[in-house]
Amino acid sequence: MHNYRGVKRLAALALMVTALGAQAAVPHFAAVGERFELDGKPYVIRSGELHYARIPRAFWRERLQQVRAMGLNTVTTYVFWNMHEMEPGRFDFSGNLDLAAFIRAARDEGLQVILRPGPYVCAELDFGGFPAWLLRTPGLRVRSMDPRFLSATQRYFKRVAQEVAPLLSSRGGPILMVQVENEYGSYGDDRDYMAAMHRQLREAGFDLPLFTSDGPDPTLLDRGTLPGVTAVVNFNGGADATQEAFAQLAAFRPKVPRMSGEYWAGWFDHWGERHHKVDPAMAAQAVDWMLGQGISFNLYMAHGGTSFGWMPGANTTGTTYQPDTTSYDYDAAIDEAGRPTPKFHAIRAVIARHLAPGERLPDLPAATPTVAVPRFTLQESVPLVETLPAPLPSRLARHMEAYGQGYGFILYRKRFSGAAAGKLDLGAVRDYAHVLADGTTIATLDRRRNENATEIKLKEGSTLDVLVENMGRVNFGPHLADERKGLTRQASLAGKPLLDWDVYTLPLADLSGLRFKPGAPARSGPTFWRGRFQASGQGSTFLDMRGLGKGHVWVNGHHLGRYWRIGPQQSLFLPAPWLRAGDNEIIILDLDGAAEAPSVQGLPDPVFSTP
């Protein structure tokens, strides 16, 4: 009898252990049949895209609280390889690039996370997020089986995994799943390459659900997906377009979880084109339809933020170059300054109608205000040609990557002993050139218009300068692989090759060495201006640049980005965390060479218009 009771206890214990084991076997997050499950229960992903690197770190919590209040339960972000590994093997995950800190902040605000590490991300970002240093290696091809490229991606994936390993859903963390590559179906048809990206992610330690993301066209899905890996679709439009997109997905791969990896609730802007707006009612209609069908989604973008510095990308048709603006407002539900828009409230109202019993939306947090800054004048200047570093002698005028440079400007100088005249043919300008004779601008050449040549006439002993601005590498389509900058073909004058240049690299990463003088310069050419202004109120502002032509702005050492009179963007966002109470320094590189001291003011709202 005693032995029988012991056997019963052992049997009961075995059953309990078995039950506990079965319970432990339930993954934190999984794709199960036609749905996602979180801790074994059905889970509809209501996600919005935020890019930590496009938002000052001091604003991360505020933005995450805002998307949570909109009704989202998940935040999606790309990982920008070009920012984290600016030079081969030298990684930076500090400050505004602290990916793990951003993910922990999302978790603390009650949000799950979807991670999209690329290596290609598009995102209207320079080179689609690839580091510029990849272009220094002759013949290297991104998004291919080139072993030099695969070695670089393998190192990158391992480093990202090292940052986020404790936060993966396979370890109970908030990162639900990770994307393999990005919209590869719109680029190529190399199944070995996609399999290699999948394998590298797994080997790096991403032992959680993976997915691919492509347009819903059957050809794109066929080229961009992987067997056994969840496929999601990207699109825009109202309920009819949404229904059609998922019908195409169902025809391609039935009986799988359905999700919009990117529902384009807005759109981005190119310089010289119109400012894009998307109807809030249409976006809300699409979200309503998806939630009514139990379909997961990711709003691209929930909040776009700003492509600060040199980070905006570009598009091209092959013949027409279309550089992106600094602002990445995207007509998103939360605007560039972090303010809820009518689109925010329309989507929030729709989500509120689809909440589970007992679920309620958090209250909307107060947004950091925007303020006006009284107009001020910049009183000190120095011509760019007086700020040059030591030259690099070069037989040919080559692209900037050949000199180890990734971003900014590059200046090619040729001295003539005698007079010179004729057609100056620069071959291929990438992307905007100022041609100067003895420090004065005599012509500009714009890649958008396929301008590569101009007539010049130089007096005896003149100095010819060609200042070329990198306006952003192409980030989408088959042409992104060849986006080297500066002068990319041989230059000539009157049909004869121009050789023996002095080349000056101008990444402009540090302006502390500039030596300013009071007043305006004597010559009309690209000029740095410096001024100071007072900020009394606590808030962000938009610097009104309509009085200037084309150039860049730095405030307290932060590179805000590019301005250009052609619009549609006519102001630059200056976030509150980068403003000092009291005295602030501003430096403007005005490429058009303002005839007199420029003046600027701060506005509480952005300016979008095309003159």
Would residue 401 show up in a list of annotated catalytic residues for this protein?
A: no
User: Closest Cα partner for 511 from 528, 533, 527, 524?
Assistant: 528
How far is residue 62's CA from residue 75's CA, in Å, rounded to a whole number? 13
Q: How is residue 583 written in tokens?
A: 């005295």
Q: Kindly report the backbone phi and psi dihedral angles of residue 153, in degrees, each rounded to the nearest multiple of 5, phi listed first.
A: -65, -35
Q: How many residues does the chain have?
A: 611
How far is residue 567's CA from residue 571's CA, in Å, rounded to a whole number? 9
Would residue 262 show up in a list of annotated catalytic residues for this protein?
A: yes
For residue 85, CA distances in Å to 94, 196, 228, 314, 535 come to 12, 21, 31, 21, 35
Those residues whose C-beta lies under 8 Å from the C-beta of residue 201, and which sit 6 or more positions away, are 117, 157, 178, 180, 210
Q: How, if at all, do strands 409-415 and 463-469 pair? A: antiparallel
Residue in 49, 262, 336, 401 annotated catalytic: 262
Q: Is the dihedral of CA 112, 114, 115, 121 positive or negative?
A: negative
Given a contact cutoff of 8 angstroms between Cβ atoms, the answer to whether 437 and 456 are in contact is yes
Residue in 183, 380, 469, 483 annotated catalytic: 183
How far is residue 111's CA from residue 102's CA, in Å, rounded to a whole number? 11
Q: How is residue 494 written in tokens?
A: 């009157």
User: Closest Cα partner for 124 from 271, 297, 232, 224?
Assistant: 271
Q: How many other C-beta atoms lie within 10 A of the C-beta of residue 604?
A: 15
Q: How is residue 151 written in tokens?
A: 């070695």
Those residues whose C-beta lies under 8 Å from the C-beta of residue 228, and which sit 6 or more positions away, are none
Q: Classify 514 as helix, strand or coil.
A: coil
| Region of residue 557 (phi > 0: left; psi between -120 and 50: alpha; otherwise: beta) | left
Given a contact cutoff of 8 angstroms between Cβ atoms, the answer to whether 302 and 70 are in contact is yes
Given a contact cutoff of 8 angstroms between Cβ atoms, the answer to whether 99 and 160 are in contact is yes
Please provide the distance, in angstroms rounded to a whole number, between the alpha carbons at the two ends of the chain.
97
Q: Kindly report the backbone phi and psi dihedral angles of residue 159, in degrees, each rounded to the nearest multiple of 5, phi listed first.
A: -70, -40
Residue 449 burial by CB count (10 A; 0-12/13-18/19+): exposed, middle or buried?
A: exposed
Given a contact cutoff of 8 angstroms between Cβ atoms, the answer to whether 237 and 270 are in contact is no
How far is residue 53's CA from residue 117's CA, in Å, rounded to a whole number? 13
User: Closest Cα partner for 591 from 490, 504, 474, 468?
Assistant: 468
Q: Residue 168 pairs with which residues in a beta bridge? A: 175
Strand order in the sheet with 599-603: 373-377, 599-603, 541-544, 571-574
Enzyme catalytic residues = 183, 262
